Amino acid sequence: MWIVASVVCLVALVLCVTVVLLPVGIPLLMLGRRLFGMAIRLFMPPGARHPVKTAGKASRSAVTGAAEALGDRLSDVPRPDGKAVRKRLKKTRKRVRKVAHA
C-alpha cells in the first residue's frame, strides 16, 4: 500500500511543478498523504495504534475481575438497610452540632 502512496505522491509532485495542473496536483498530494497514513496504520499492531484504548480495555477487565472477587467475599456480610444508615447519620450530625456549639 505504501508503494501506491509513494507513486501517487510522485505523480502529484510532477503535476504541482506544472502551474497549470496545480489544482489537480494538490488534492492528489493530500490523497497520497492519506494513503501513507493508512498504510502505516495497517502495518502497526493494534496496541501501538491506540495504546489508550487497549489500556482502557485491559483495565476495565481487571476492575471487573476484582469487583467480582470482592463481591464473592462480601456476599455473606450483612448490609444495613437505608433506614438504619439514615438514623445513624442523623445521630452523628446531632453530635457534631453539639460539639460545634459548645
> Once rounded to an integer, what is the mean pLDDT over residues 88-96?
85
CA pair distance 42, 35, nearest whole angstrom: 10
Cell readout for 42 is 495497517
pLDDT at 31: 93
φ, ψ of residue 4 in degrees (nearest 5): -60, -40
Q: Which of 38, 37, 28 is nearest to 7 (CA)?
A: 28
Prediction pTM value = 0.47
Per-range mean pLDDT, top range of 21-25, 30-34, 48-52: 30-34
Q: Which three cell numbers stand for residue 21?
A: 495542473
